[in-house]
Amino acid sequence: MTHGLRQRDRRPRRGALLAPAARLGAAVLLPPALTAAVVLSVGSAAAADATPTVKLPVMHSVLADDADCTKESAAKAPAMPWEHQSVELARAARISQGAGVKVGVVDTGVSTIAPTLAGRVEAIGDGGQDCVGHGTFVAGLIAAAPTKGVAFHGVAPRAGIVAVRATGERGTPSASGVAEGIRAAVDAGARVVVVSAAFGTRSDALDEAVSHAVEQDALIVAAAVPDPPAAVGAQDTAPAPRDYWPAASPGVLSVLDVDVRGVRQDKALLPVHADLAAPGNGVVGIGPRGTGHFVGNGASMAAGYAAGAAALVRSAFPDLSASQVARRLISTAYPDYVPRLDAYAAVASVTEDGAKGADAAADAHGAVVRMPDHTQRERATRTAVLVAGAGLAVLLLAGWAAVAIPRGRARGWRPPRP
């Protein structure tokens, strides 16, 4: 397999890619440009209706030229975000928390004064300053530390962050800036690099940066499409799928965003191909300063979740290559038109790469990690039901034969001749 993760034909493939992409673009989500009322726990519809809501300000990826830098949020998310349950984060944390892994964040920068990232941000150049707040938000999805009284935290709260600014101060990205950012993050020791920008035009600089990361065995995780509001236009119909870079480059894990229902915003931009889908619409995260929370929307948020899961895998199974980590994330994902990220399965499953899951990770880290009792009971119950069902089917078939065959013979029935 060339260039690590994959070498694939970039032309649209009928049925395999276009139809599923159109299916993903068919659902409706509340407009992300408005301040969102976020339900911070999920379960049954009745439970969601009974759950208190909290209004969080929206984190934008780009600020207007005359806009002030993003201010501290006064609101906090007290309950568990739906996205934590979606990726089975609590169970994954018993096996891996990303210790020893550096994750490069190529974005608007990552604030070094964000409290839940304090002491774990290595800034390259001006990467420690974040006027927009988007890079800090993504870094928080990856590695924000737990806080007393707050349910939100990052996927890999013991991972380190390498912060690289690949945009102007107001958040406008450039292909050359992203390419330089990828190289800088990899050269600083990042084993996972998340890229929020998605360009409609391919460039030699990006291709060379991706090749450099692949050569250094660093996994690039990239947004499969641009974030809103650029991702949502005034068109009457959904746009045709197309490639965006660097997500479309061989060797890059491309990630698409979904909401709490597992669907995407109406008329959102669609890629020709995406490797994974992850929480990205209506997700909770941190800001560049203070202890308040924001809500974010877009594939860059989904890429943050996938990058955090990659850090969990690289920490639990340090001998896996970047391409093996990517394949593990894909093969253990929940099956769908685009497979949906399952962080727990990624660190707990036996895969073709030979990583033995929870027991192997526990042995490697000197800890005993056992499957929760309720899960064992659920599996035992399913097994018993299957066995009982099979036995009942045999009995029913025998009973039917005992009655039907004599009656058939009495009526002159005979097996058909060849």
**Residues taking part in catalysis:** 107, 134, 300
How far from chain centre, in Å, is Cα 310?
A: 9
Instruction: Please name the residues in contact with 361: beta carbons below 8 A apart, sequence gap of 6 or more.
Output: 95, 96, 316, 317, 347, 348, 369
What are the backbone angles phi and psi of residue 73, rounded to the nearest 5°? -85, 135
Residue 186: Cβ within 10 Å count: 23
Decide: 145 and 153 in contact? Cβ < 8 Å: yes
| Tokens 């941000």 belong to residue | 121
Q: Cα(79)–Cα(213) distance, rounded to whole angstroms?
A: 38
Decide: 308 and 155 in contact? Cβ < 8 Å: yes
Q: Cα(327)–Cα(311) distance, rounded to whole angstroms?
A: 14
Instruction: Please name the residues in contact with 280: beta carbons below 8 A apart, sequence gap of 6 or more.
Output: 255, 256, 257, 258, 259, 296, 297, 298, 299, 300, 301, 302, 303, 305
DSSP code for 16: T
Q: Cα(411)–Cα(369) distance, rounded to whole angstroms?
A: 64
Q: Cα(348)–Cα(96) distance, rounded to whole angstroms?
A: 10
Decide: 310 and 253 in contact? Cβ < 8 Å: yes
Q: Cα(186)–Cα(209) distance, rounded to whole angstroms?
A: 9
Residue 50: Cβ within 10 Å count: 10
How far from chain centre, in Å, is Cα 320?
A: 19
Residues in the chain: 418
| Tokens 């969601």 belong to residue | 48
144: left (phi over 0), alpha (psi -120 to 50) or beta: beta
